[in-house]
Structure 1
Amino acid sequence: MSLSRRQMMLGTLAGVALSRAIPAWAVDADTQRKVDDAIVRALDFLESQQLPEGAWRSDSYGECTAATSLACMAFMSAGHVPGEGPYGDMLNKGIRWVMSRQEDNGMLIAKRSHGPMYSHGIATLMLAEAIGMVDESQAKLLKRSLERAVRLILESQAYEKDHRHAGGWRYQVDSRDSDLSVTGWQVMALRAAKDVGCDVPAEAIDAAVAYVKNCSTRDNRGFGYQPGSGATPTLTGVGITCLEVCGAHDTDEARGGATWLKDHPLRFDSNYCYYGIYYTGVGLFKLGGEFAEQSHKHLCDMLLTAQQADGSWTPEHGSERGVGKSYATALCILGLAIEYRYLPIYQR
């Protein structure tokens, strides 16, 4: 990116502070400037990684609807709009590529994936977030694709499961058990889709909330992978976020998990740290108060010191080593950009 273009982008991000109420716990001005610059550098990196057909890739799975959708949301989280501005054409290409991968049953998936429903949930969330940012004709196309994607999520939830797993999702459409990792993306997708007018029955949200609460530890000290599992920082962020976006505000489970996170903060060697950056950031932002302050300052300290010279973040630990720099960098942008509140899902 040229210096003049970089200055323009930094000016755009700095202007966010003038148009939005700044929380009392916001970081100091010098740190905020560093955050703004880190986001611009990271967007430069992501721009350089887009493939000619519009996709982004993960190291393990190649062209990927999850990585592409996260990259698109990263740009949108910093105020960039499909079809407009310096990244408008690039965003349109990314969105069109994701939609072109929709299968007959509604699944948004490339040929290879960590798990179909995992990638599908992320892609569905991205389409829902993008609808309000595009013109009317494009919004109609996105809405049609989104509605098919939502129906698949609801059909997957409805497969018969035992009481411990009812209400959740796992990697396959017809899975007969659930986990909080996959469930988190479906919940976010359904909540965002409902906000743009898709038919999402209240019963589906209620069942998902019940499953998420079942993944909280018995003493409400964090959330685990499945009911009865031990708590992890990443999954505690997932649990808190799911409850908050579904309207289960300030629950014992969420506050207990947030309190646990004070003593067990997310680290780069935490299991699945990078999507934990997104979820702990969003969940604690929505809880507000001291929890939001602690989380945001921790993420800023953690991420600003780890950004690479090329603007990326590099996953180095076992659980995410194969996801690639584009996936990790997009999630870091999404974690840092929460205060901008451009994405609808970030609204309190």
Structure 2
Amino acid sequence: MAALCCGSTTGRAEGDWEITPAGERALDQGLEWLARNQGPKGNWGSDDLGLVALGALSFAAAGHLPGRGRYGDVIDRAVQYVVRSARPSGLLNIANPQRDMYNHGLATFVLGQMFGMTRDPQLSRVLDRALKLIYSTQCDDGGWDYRAKRQRNGHDLSLSVMQAKAIRSAVDSGLEVPPEVARQAIHSVRIRYRASNGSRDPDDPRTRMGPGQFTYNGSRGTTAMAAAGVVCLQEFGQYDDWRISRNMDVIRREIQQLKIPTDRNGRVPWDAYTLYYVGQAIYQVGGGIWRECYPILRDHLIASQVERPADPKQDGHWTSTRHVGGVPGQLYGTSTACFILAIPNRFLPILQEGKIEGLRKQLGSD
């Protein structure tokens, strides 16, 4: 089997403008909230393995590893909860089957990052089965369904990007990935681009000339989908794809419209899902848009973080504003916010790459 592989190098912050004392303090307080409120099972009261894995990722993004240092036990409990919950088929979901591939894709991505940082053989075994499930359930159009099953067409862009990031995470770790799986995943993202005039035909000059963006399923465009599509193309070396600049126009406008909060209500920008992809999109594209937009996201998170020193269940958290409530919603919001605040550290393998020319040559370009 042919493989896609890429190495990694240690990254570092571009300058003091990326990491500020206030940003570091907010990150520390967020990690403290996660540590205090994890619970003995290691899952923050959530059966969504993707969210539990995201909790572990926030610590790893800040440079902490399982079993080592101040938060080693916290990360270890979260990772072990995910590992113990893996099904014989390789599926990383114990919640509603309609969340099979959401949880599976996100959890697999995180395990790939963890394996790349630790080389833990236990993670390798679970990761191998999880990746094989992704390969075997890829639909004929290159996408995936909500449930872990193969069919003619994938359901939507969000599922494609979740699995694509898991595949790229495996590449980061030096694991073998069938190039055709990655190539088809990229195809499933591209076909969900829609020009503002309604055209979806990439060979139609009208599609390329005017504005447009990635959509959920071919018709409905959102900031989250614009960012998710960009992240997928960037992480697979498709740097010159014309769709990237169109979607970055959408993302830049959304970020420029953000207003720094004054009430410390814990609300992340948009929602945790959108923030997760927007932060990665501006980082992966880099350059001027990263320098322009990252401080806005960072300062919004600093200003919105809950500050209640007398209440350890509240102090230091953020919350997702959609989809997930209660403590799991706080887990989602806090983990995502900490991940975004930690990006400039560049500790994660996914954040340490320049242009992946070998990978790009195998996949081709549009």
Distance 1:152 1:215 in 2: 24
- C-alpha deviation, 1:220, in angstroms: 5.0
Distance 2:180 2:212 in 1: 27
- Alignment CA distance shift 1:184-1:50 (3 Å): same
From 146, 168, 175, give the equivalent of 1:191: 168
Question: Which aligned pairs between 1:1-348 and structure 2 lie closer than 5 A?
Answer: 21-23=12-14, 27=17, 32-57=20-45, 62-112=46-96, 115-134=99-118, 139-157=120-138, 159-160=139-140, 166-174=141-149, 176-218=153-195, 219-227=210-218, 229-265=219-255, 273-309=271-307, 310-316=315-321, 318-321=322-325, 323-348=328-353
Q: In structure 2, what is the equivalent of residue 13 of structure 1?
A: none
Identity %: 29
- C-alpha deviation, 1:114, in angstroms: 5.9
Partner of 2:194, secondary structure, is coil
User: Is residue 56–residue 64 contact of structure 1 (8 Å, CA) maintained in 2?
Assistant: no
- C-alpha deviation, 1:177, in angstroms: 2.8
User: Is residue 234–residue 270 contact of structure 1 (8 Å, CA) maintained in 2?
Assistant: no
Distance 2:186 2:83 in 1: 29
- RMSD value over aligned CA atoms? 2.2
Q: Deviations over 1:253-275 (max 9, x none)?
A: 1111101222233866976x212
Distance 1:347 1:64 in 2: 28
Q: Deviations over 1:268-309 (max 9, x none)?
A: 6976x2122121111211111122123312211321111111
User: Is residue 13–residue 346 contact of structure 2 (8 Å, CA) maintained in 1?
Assistant: no
- C-alpha deviation, 1:83, in angstroms: 1.2
Partner of 1:132, secondary structure, is helix
Q: Deviations over 1:217-247 (max 9, x none)?
A: 22453221112x2321111110110000011
Distance 1:276 1:210 in 2: 22
Distance 1:346 1:217 in 2: 28
Partner of 1:324, secondary structure, is helix
Distance 1:93 1:140 in 2: 17
Higher relative contact order (CA 8 A, sep 6+): 2
User: Is residue 220–residue 252 contact of structure 1 (8 Å, CA) maintained in 2?
Assistant: no
Q: Deviations over 1:17-61 (max 9, x none)?
A: xx954436x6377xx11110000000000111212122223xxxx
Between Structure 1 and Structure 2, which shows a larger proportion of helix residues? Answer: 1
Distance 1:93 1:190 in 2: 24
Distance 1:270 1:237 in 2: 14
Q: In structure 1, what is the equivalent of residue 6 of structure 2?
A: none
Where do 5+ consecutive residues of structure 1 fail to align? 1-18, 161-165
Letter in 1 for 2:80: R
Distance 2:97 2:294 in 1: 31
Q: Deviations over 1:131-175 (max 9, x none)?
A: 1333x5xx1111111010000011111x34xxxxx1112311125
- Alignment CA distance shift 1:20-1:201 (3 Å): closer
TM-score after normalising by structure 2: 0.79
Distance 1:274 1:326 in 2: 10
User: Is residue 113–residue 119 contact of structure 1 (8 Å, CA) maintained in 2?
Assistant: no
Partner of 1:203, secondary structure, is helix
How many residues align? The count is: 311
TM-score after normalising by structure 1: 0.83
Partner of 2:187, secondary structure, is helix
Q: Deviations over 1:202-223 (max 9, x none)?
A: 1111111111112222245322
Worse-superposed segment, 252-261 or 239-248: 252-261
- C-alpha deviation, 1:347, in angstroms: 1.8
Letter in 2 for 1:277: L
User: Is residue 101–residue 145 contact of structure 2 (8 Å, CA) maintained in 1?
Assistant: yes
User: Is residue 250–residue 287 contact of structure 1 (8 Å, CA) maintained in 2?
Assistant: no
Where do 5+ consecutive residues of structure 2 fail to align? 1-9, 196-209, 259-266, 308-314, 354-366
